Structure 1
């Protein structure tokens, strides 16, 4: 019996150590918001694991799924600009900053009778497309992808959703081969836009991402372009 107890204690101890190591890895691997993004984030509301930039006269709600291991406030700069144009933005905080831990997060944030769109960056975009594929909420009007693509589990080619896909010319994190191949999972009416000189990390504001290309435009410039492209698209979707 004592031997069994020792084995059990050993297993529990090993699991505990692995969890601590994993938590430490996630903490030190997470991309943190830039000083500029942190300043902007202070003007947001932080409610129930969500960073919210409310619009004074909300035309439609924008729910955003973050990239893998990217802190939510890293997207504050373009989010505030979109909110200023009349679209409330809700940035989801995921466990360990991984969107696949709560793919249906948008259901809680959408509201019962409010039109909304959902979008995401990188892994967050893939999970947002899976959400859009599975949801039955009739108020979902569209989805946008930032440096991301839909996979077969998130295929939207048989839906009537408005879809916007934004890429950056210097993005070296995005798997471009899969991006091109997976266009088949998006509607033929999808709008494709490219930010010249931008990179993968530039869809947020958190510094240079490992393996990414070097942007030839400033982060502020890319943030402004992301906001502008989203606002133009939202103006069409909200009509």
Structure 2
């Protein structure tokens, strides 16, 4: 192979690396645009962490494209670094797409409006539903399902607020309830009029709610007095440690927290835990955010499911409140 030929193959591979960087940067911009265009409501009304994530991704993608466009020739070391960066970038973009939230739909959006029955306030980290009259000493702290806009639960939880109980809906960073494990303690500190908390959650949020309830059911002030699962179950055995009252609400058509999984969770909960199955309800019907991959097909309407879930949840809260 002649000297010119010896340089041709490396130069071509280095040129290809540059074009891959350009393509990766362009893909990053497209993923950010796709997330914003398709789920903008969930992006701007969720915890700001994902919005910051998108901004960083867009900026890094533009820089990556510029580096690829300008750097057609690379040393071997730079080529290796570039290949590693591409691999990491692909993983980052996959995570960016996966973290795209499920935006709240009606009637949850209407339930977010304040009126003479309840006041709704929203901050970057939580949604608070406050009764119009004097609030009862028992409040409800709710952890949303993974990647679900917290507003999606406003309609199903609002009847609890209208009945006289403060309801706090967390907005976990990146939509992952495990990243908001300290949110209950923050609410316990700020809402001093609440003397006891019913900790609740949907799907992954329910699993995190179980951890929080188990840790705070013996607290000297504002303890967790109840635990409410929305299509969820605990990740560990709480049958001996948990003293808070428990309600497990599930759907017979749930394709994610299936009836079999809910039944198996009995062994991990106190013997007096109450189990209520909403016949025909699916996983996504515990909120208002549209269809969810892997879910079952409901045989009742969203309104029917929401009415039954709200009624059972409110009855449980009232029983615990005494």
Q: TM-score range by the shorter chain?
A: 0.7 to 0.9
Q: TM-score, normalised by structure 1?
A: 0.88
Aligned partner of 2:316 in structure 1 is: 233
- Whether the 8 Å CA contact 2:252–2:259 is kept in 1: the answer is no
Question: How far apart, in 1, do the equivalents of 2:80 and 2:211 lie?
Answer: 41
Task: Please list the CA deviations of residues 116-148 of structure 1 after superposition, one character each: whole Å capped at 9, or x if unmatched.
Answer: 110111111111111122235342111000111
CA positional deviation for 1:200? 0.8
| Residue-pair matches, total | 235
Any unmatched runs of 5+ in structure 1? none
TM-score by length of 2: 0.66
1:181 lines up with 2:264 in the alignment: yes
The answer on 1:88 being equivalent to 2:166 is yes
Asked if 1:18 corresponds to 2:91, the answer is: yes
Decide which of 94, 105, 111 is 2:189's aligned counterpart: 111
More contact order relative to length (CA 8 Å, sep ≥ 6) = 1
Q: Is the 8 A contact 1:82 1:89 kept in 2?
A: yes
Answer with 210-219 or 37-46: which moved more. Answer: 37-46
Which consecutive segments of 4 or more residues in structure 1 shift more than 6 A?
A: 2-6
In the alignment, structure 2 segments of 5+ residues that lack a partner are 1-74, 115-119
What pairs up with 1:41-60 in 2 under 5 angstroms?
Answer: 41-43=112-114, 44-56=120-132, 57-59=134-136, 60=138
1:195 is matched with 278
Tell me the residue number matched to 2:45: none
1:147-186 pair list within 5 angstroms? 147-152=231-236, 155-186=238-269
- In the aligned structure 1, how far is the partner of 2:84 from the partner of 2:213? 40
Aligned alpha-carbon RMSD (Å): 2.2
Q: Which residue of structure 2 aligns with residue 145 of structure 1?
A: 229
Larger radius of gyration: 2
